[in-house]
């Protein structure tokens, strides 16, 4: 049930954003969405570079302890969401 509610909420939000193109606020909506997208891209890029920088000298072992800070947790959640793993 929770997945259906989330799916419908995302669908309705997308329809709202698409309908903003037909209003006088289309330029404002475009600027806001572009800013949001670029901000998300910057945050994810910084987290990926940070993770690679921290693990640049580590050997690729499976038994190596995973990072436990907030950035690693957020990045793992984004990866799982993108790949559809969970």
Q: Kindly report, residue by residue over 16-71, the tens digit of the pLDDT.
A: 888 887 888 888 888 888 999 999 999 989 888 888 888 777 665 555 555 567 88
Place of tokens 């989330």: 6
Q: Is 81 helix (H, G, I), strand (E, B) or coil?
A: helix
In this prediction, residue 11 has a pLDDT band, given cuts at 50, 70 and 90, of very high
Can you give the residue range of the structural domain that contains 12?
2-56+65-83
The DSSP symbol for 66 reads P
pTM listed for this prediction? 0.57
Residues 18-31 as b/e (b if ≥16 CB within 10 A, e otherwise) read eebeeeeeeeebee
Contacts of 33 (CB under 8 A, 6+ apart): 17
Total domains present in the chain: 1
């Amino acid at each position: 049930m929770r997945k259906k509610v989330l799916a419908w909420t995302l669908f309705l939000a997308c329809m709202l954003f698409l309908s903003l193109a037909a209003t006088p606020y289309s330029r404002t909506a475009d600027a806001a969405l572009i800013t949001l997208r670029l901000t998300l891209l910057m945050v994810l890029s910084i987290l990926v570079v940070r993770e690679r920088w921290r693990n640049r000298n580590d050997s690729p072992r499976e038994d190596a302890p995973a990072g436990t800070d907030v950035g690693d947790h957020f990045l793992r959640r984004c990866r799982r969401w993108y790949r559809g793993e969970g």
